[in-house]
Each structure stands twice: as structure tokens, then as C-alpha cells.
Amino acid sequence: MIQENLARIRGALPEGVKLVAVSKFHPVETMMEAYEAGQRCFAENRPQEFCEKVPRMPSDVEWHFTGHIQTNKLKLVLPYAQLVQSVDSLRLLQAIDRWGTANDKTINALLQFHLGAEETKGGFDEVGIFSVLREYADGAYGHVRFRGLMGMATFTDDESVIRSDFARIRDLKQRMNAAFPQLSDFTELSIGMSGDWHIALEYGATIIRIGTAIFGHRQY
Ligand SMILES: *Cc1c(COP(=O)(O)O)cnc(C)c1O
């Protein structure tokens, strides 16, 4: 099943769009089925689960992190994550930069934009994203490399709401690229999950994050 799911999704992806398998709550055995079907990029949402799984999977896995991180849990995530997609506050950003400085490591990161209607979804607003990139362009956050934006659309069946969310983050990214042309690494747009990735592709997604449509439903 996992193999078929992956093949179906991959078959629909344009060149250059990265499929991230979101494996939270699924055991390593299940993840290995995806690995054996050729999947190499996985993402987790919880620091403890993440750092327990990393050593149990093959070493050529590319790991992303997509969940909220309390600053005291950074050490469980930053040594292993090739991309932290969920930088959702200034406090976290500053802590990541300090960790990078102390550990002589540059952390690849996406700024999480508060896109969906839900208050529970974290992230920066537009002004916050602009001001972080302004500071970054002026030399701040020297141990972070901002690669783009991540967002989660409103959880709804109303496709027009999802489309307007995706249009907003796409437009924000375009405005940031226009405002900071010197940030030539700021290229990624991580939008699209199991229910809406087809739509996300129309809005310029470069990364889609898929859990359920690969692995089936999670046990909470
Ligand atoms: C869980 C999760 C996903 C995957 O969700 P599915 O609907 O199962 O595809 C993607 N992104 C984030 C940030 C998540 O927390």
C-alpha cells in the first residue's frame, strides 16, 4: 500500500517538487516500507520521537522537522535536521541561532507563516516575517540559513478558503524575494498536505509534506 501511495503521489509531482514523508506516530518498521520504495526524506513533529527514530533509520535519510520546538529541546533536533521547517517565533529563532553559534553549525530553516484560520497554528505574521528577513539581510542570525516559507492552510472542506490561503503565502514569498533579492537561497515554499497537495502545486509548492496519504491514518 505504501509503495502504491508513494508511486501515485510521485507520478503527479512536477520536476523539482520535493516529497517529504511525514512519519509522526508511525513506527520505524512502517517508515522502512517507504524507504524501501525509494523514499529518502522524512519529517517528524515531536523532538523526542524524532531523535529516537534518527539512529534507527538508514544514514542516507534526509530529516526534516515540522513541529513546534521548545527551546530546551533544540539539542534533540538540531544535530540531525537538515531542514527545520517550523521556525515559528522570534524566541525560537534566537535560540536556534545561539545553538548554531555554540555548535559551529548553520541551520537550514523555513520561516513558518501563520496561514490557516486556527489560532492553534503558530507562526509569524507578515510583518514578523519581513522584519526577520530585514535583520537577516543586515547580517543577523549568522548561523541560520533561511530557505523559504512554510505554512498550513485552514483545515476545511471549502476549497476556496484553501486557495486563498495558498495564494496569500505564495504572494508573501514573492514580495519577500522582491524586497530581498540578495537572499538568493530563499526559494522554498512548503505548502500542501494529504488533503490539499494537488492544490498546493498550483500555487508554486516546492515542498509538500504528506503523512496520511502515504502511511494511512495515525494512531493518536
Ligand atoms: C502532520 C503534518 C503534516 C502531514 O499531515 P497529513 O494530513 O497527514 O498529510 C504536514 N505538515 C505538518 C506541519 C504536520 O504537522
Q: Mind listing the pLDDT tens digit for each residue in 63-108?
A: 999 999 999 999 999 999 999 999 999 999 999 999 999 999 999 9
C-beta 152 within 6 A of ligand 1: yes
Residue 211 beta carbon below 6 angstroms from any ligand 1 atom? yes
What percent of the chain is modeled with pLDDT above 90?
Answer: 95
Q: Whose CA is nearest to atom 13 of ligand 1?
A: 66
What does the buried/exposed string (b/e) look like for 96-120 if buried means 16 or more CB atoms within 10 Å of the residue's CB? bbebbeeeeeebbbbbbbbbbeeee
SS (H, E, C) 113-137: ECCCCCCCCCCECHHHHHHHHHHHH
Which three cell numbers, joined as nine digits, stand for 178? 522582491
pLDDT digits (tens, 9 = 90+) for 124-167: 999 999 999 999 999 999 999 999 999 999 999 999 999 999 99
Is the pLDDT assigned to residue 120 strictly greater than 80? no
Distance CA 47, CA 80 (A): 11
Query: Sorting pLDDT into bands at 50, 70 and 90, what band is 220?
Result: low
What's residue 171's pLDDT? 98
pLDDT over threshold 60, residue 24: yes
In the prediction, which pLDDT does 118 show?
A: 79
Instruction: Output 189 or 118, whichever has higher pLDDT.
Output: 189
The reported pLDDT for the residue numbered 122 is: 85
Nearest atom within ligand 1 for CA of residue 214: 9
**Closest residue (by CA) to atom 11 of ligand 1?**
209
| Cα–Cα distance measured from residue 170 to residue 174, given in angstroms and rounded to the nearest whole number | 6
Average pLDDT in the 118-122 region? 77
How far apart are the CA of 137 and the centre of ligand 1, in A?
30
Asked if 116 contacts 155 with a C-beta cutoff of 8 angstroms, the reply is: yes
| Alpha-carbon span 199 to 203, nearest angstrom | 7
Output the CA 212–ligand 1 centroid distance in Å: 8
Confidence of residue 219 (pLDDT cuts 50, 70, 90): low
* Mean pLDDT, all residues of the chain: 96
The single-letter DSSP state of residue 17 is: P
CA of 210 to the centre of ligand 1 (A): 6
CB 153 within 8 A of CB 205: no
Coil, strand or helix at 27:
coil
Q: Which residues pair with 188 in a beta bridge?
A: 148
